[in-house]
Amino acid sequence: MGNNVIIQPTTNREEAKIEIIPAIDLKDGRCVRLYQGDYTQETVFSDDPVEVALRWQSMGATNLHIVDLDGAADGVPGNLEIITEIAHTVLIPTQLGGGIRSMKTIGIVLKAGVERVILGTAAVENHKLVQEACHNFGDSIIVGIDAREGCVAIRGWKLDTDLKATELAKSMIELGVKRFIYTDISRDGTLTEPNFSGVFELVNSINLPVIAAGGISSLDHLKMLKKLGVEGAIVGKALYTGNINLKQALDTIDY
């Protein structure tokens, strides 16, 4: 389904609220953005991620999305000290993804003050872990579905699979997952536009909250995602470049 397809949202979705969630991507202790998840195409936006977190909070953010890029690539958290400092400094909830692939790591991250943990690679490779995590931690567990051309990619987006995004979501629901983040890798960090058709397909295939990410670069994109019925929209590069002003977006989008 291409983005030129006319999508007709339902009335109740048009009236739904949407949470605008700033992204803080960490690599080597700094706040960066990658282009389409490519670790060789990195732009550093700040050497002080805690200051960035406080800035988004001061502008009205109600949640922060943190990605440990080193953790995603290596399989274990690589920026835990800074993540802990952010979680303890801000007054708003945080959610973290990247390198969380064991019950021990989930426990460490939650004890560090992070409210919600995102499982990506583990959701594909270790269903038992997902089931146990959902049983023990309930709503604190989110599954991140990172897709390239409709199929899931794992291990820091470096390994492609043949698994469809909707198939993964449905298998996760059976394990107790109650919330998803959908990221279109080809749009991420590009300032183009979200994969609206991919978001639409996932939202309509499951009856659970979906948070959209990748390519969001204007207020119109946020308005369209709201109509599609997503629970939240993760905005990264557009906030750092000024394409989207967070305060203006929060004032404009009736979230």
Q: Which residues are catalytic?
A: 25, 146
- Closest by CA to 52, choosing from 102, 94, 10, 86, is 86
Please enumerate in sequence order all residues whose Cβ is within 8 A of that of 167, keeping only pairs 6 or more positions apart, or say none. Answer: none
User: CB–CB of 107/100 below 8 Å?
Assistant: no
Q: Which residue has the tokens 């750092």?
A: 240
- Chain CA centroid to CA 159, Å: 18
User: CB–CB of 64/90 below 8 Å?
Assistant: yes
The residues facing 23 across adjacent strands are 65
Q: What gap in Å lies between CA 26 and CA 212, rounded to an integer?
A: 20
Q: What gap in Å lies between CA 74 and CA 28, rounded to an integer?
A: 12
Please enumerate in sequence order all residues whose Cβ is within 8 A of that of 9, keeping only pairs 6 or more positions apart, or say none. Answer: 227, 228, 229
Q: Which residue has the tokens 């794992």?
A: 154
- CA angle (205, 196, 71) in 5-degree steps: 85
- Closest by CA to 120, choosing from 152, 151, 95, is 152
The residues facing 247 across adjacent strands are none
Please enumerate in sequence order all residues whose Cβ is within 8 A of that of 106, keeping only pairs 6 or more positions apart, or say none. Answer: 100, 117, 133, 137, 141
